[in-house]
Chain A
């Protein structure tokens, strides 16, 4: 499996504390160039620099999962990743889930139909995690407890887990072309 380090542009370097680091990455299909401090978290880069505020920041230490984005095709905690580590990589955020014409991604469709959100704060992270599971080929043969284990890295403080599990099953059906 390829990793995100296989970049065309990522280059070696040595940056002093106050230096800015030039990075290029593809975010939701758009090429992005920026000069940023090495200590900037990917979550802050997306939200503050690119104004992609769909990625939410909850705990900032990798526990809640609200900041999950896809990095190099794999769901990743953007609060546990420096933006410079994503140099040369493909990023997909919740803003990149739907098609350009507005057609919802199966996971958006299923979260909407199953009412899998209450306050909505955890929702982008859940959807990016579930989208990753769909791409990994997760199937509906999983038991509820197995499915819950797969979702355990995301927390919903409204505790709306029943509908999130149901929406995940529905998303698998939608991916497989079955009418839920």
Chain B
């Protein structure tokens, strides 16, 4: 239960970190370490080189502009959770973070670390995918923007090139009056989700849903946007019948097969309930009634 030996590189700044990454394609990048170090303790991963980003203060920031909450990759999850400007711009960020592991883990875990790790059951990848956020990578050729939909490619696999580091995550702000919810089911509080759902809804002047964003994690090899569900919602007035129809549609997106933690049938049942619960909560937050 101890990490194997490795070459240890502590770059002074982003440029040196990118160069270290480019020179060591098999390196592991250490940010908060809350996923990497347990896998190293178990020797599930035994990297030759560990590049520790702890001196990169330049990647520790939360900046809110009219369109995005921009979060530096080295920002601790707990710092973003407590950030009031981020909360005012998009309260869903805080609610989502409260489902990420335990406070003690969030004290160390970074926003960029969780996103770059790309666990298919993790909450932050689900959030940024559902919101159609954007990620910024930095490599030898400089910075590059990647839409969240293209960033997550498979289990633990992202669009980052071997020389690239994730430097920023941009979460879109919500419109005034837009409703939001994040609902998760995990066996124990703080565990990875068996399944979770993020959603936002905006009600139009006539009382019908004008815009809806709905996404889920834990049901496929990446977080999933439930686009067909969103299409069902838009243009209709919120109702229990509508939500039930949307939940039925959502369940058909499940790709996960029978696993020791959950049978496919159980996951279908979970997702059905989580979608309906998330929609009800989000609608409630718009002030509309179901």
* Residue B65, interface by CB 8 Å: no
- Report B-chain residues with C-beta under 8 Å of the C-beta of A21: 8
Contact B8 A62 (CB under 8 A): no
* Residue B41, interface by CB 8 Å: yes
- Report A-chain residues with C-beta under 8 Å of the C-beta of B50: 38
Contact B108 A71 (CB under 8 A): yes
* Residue A68, interface by CB 8 Å: yes
From 60 to 86 in chain A, residues with beta carbon under 8 angstroms from any chain B beta carbon are: 60-62, 65, 68, 71, 74-77, 79-82, 84-85
Q: With A152-B102, A152-B188 in contact, do A81 and B41 touch (Cβ < 8 Å)? A: no
The stretch among B53-61, B232-240, B281-289 that forms the contact with chain A is B53-61
* Residue A97, interface by CB 8 Å: no
Q: With A61-B41, A80-B38, A85-B52 in contact, do A68 and B7 touch (Cβ < 8 Å)? A: no
* Residue A140, interface by CB 8 Å: no
Q: With A74-B78, A77-B108, A80-B37 in contact, do A61 and B188 touch (Cβ < 8 Å)? A: no
- Give complex CA distance A84, B3 in Å: 13
* Residue A46, interface by CB 8 Å: no
Contact B54 A76 (CB under 8 A): no
How large, as a class, is the contact surface on chain B?
A: 35 or more
Contact A6 B6 (CB under 8 A): no
- Report A-chain residues with C-beta under 8 Å of the C-beta of B20: 14
- Report B-chain residues with C-beta under 8 Å of the C-beta of A11: 10, 12
What residue in chain B is nearest A65 (Cβ atoms)? B104
Contact B41 A60 (CB under 8 A): yes
Contact pick for A81, options B6, B33, B55, B76, CB 8 Å: B33
Contact B54 A5 (CB under 8 A): yes
Contact A76 B107 (CB under 8 A): yes
Contact B104 A82 (CB under 8 A): no
What residue in chain B is nearest A150 (Cβ atoms)? B103
- Give complex CA distance A75, B10 in Å: 24
- Report B-chain residues with C-beta under 8 Å of the C-beta of A3: 57, 60, 74, 76, 79
Contact B3 A5 (CB under 8 A): no
- Give complex CA distance A82, B33 in Å: 9
* Residue A39, interface by CB 8 Å: yes
* Residue A141, interface by CB 8 Å: no
* Residue A96, interface by CB 8 Å: no
* Residue B105, interface by CB 8 Å: yes
Minimum distance in angstroms from B49 CB to a CB of chain A: 9
- Give complex CA distance A131, B50 in Å: 32
Minimum distance in angstroms from B124 CB to a CB of chain A: 17
- Report B-chain residues with C-beta under 8 Å of the C-beta of A38: 5-6, 8, 50
- Give complex CA distance A41, B37 in Å: 9
- Give complex CA distance A81, B38 in Å: 9
* Residue B190, interface by CB 8 Å: yes
Contact B1 A60 (CB under 8 A): yes
Minimum distance in angstroms from A63 CB to a CB of chain B: 9
Contact pick for A149, options B9, B34, B54, B189, CB 8 Å: B189
Q: With A17-B6, A85-B52, A153-B103 in contact, do A62 and B11 touch (Cβ < 8 Å)? A: no
Given A3-B79, A12-B11, A87-B54, 19 other A-B contacts at CB below 8 A? Answer: A3-B74, A10-B54, A10-B55, A14-B8, A14-B9, A15-B8, A17-B6, A38-B8, A39-B2, A61-B42, A62-B38, A75-B103, A76-B104, A77-B105, A77-B108, A82-B3, A84-B52, A150-B103, A152-B190
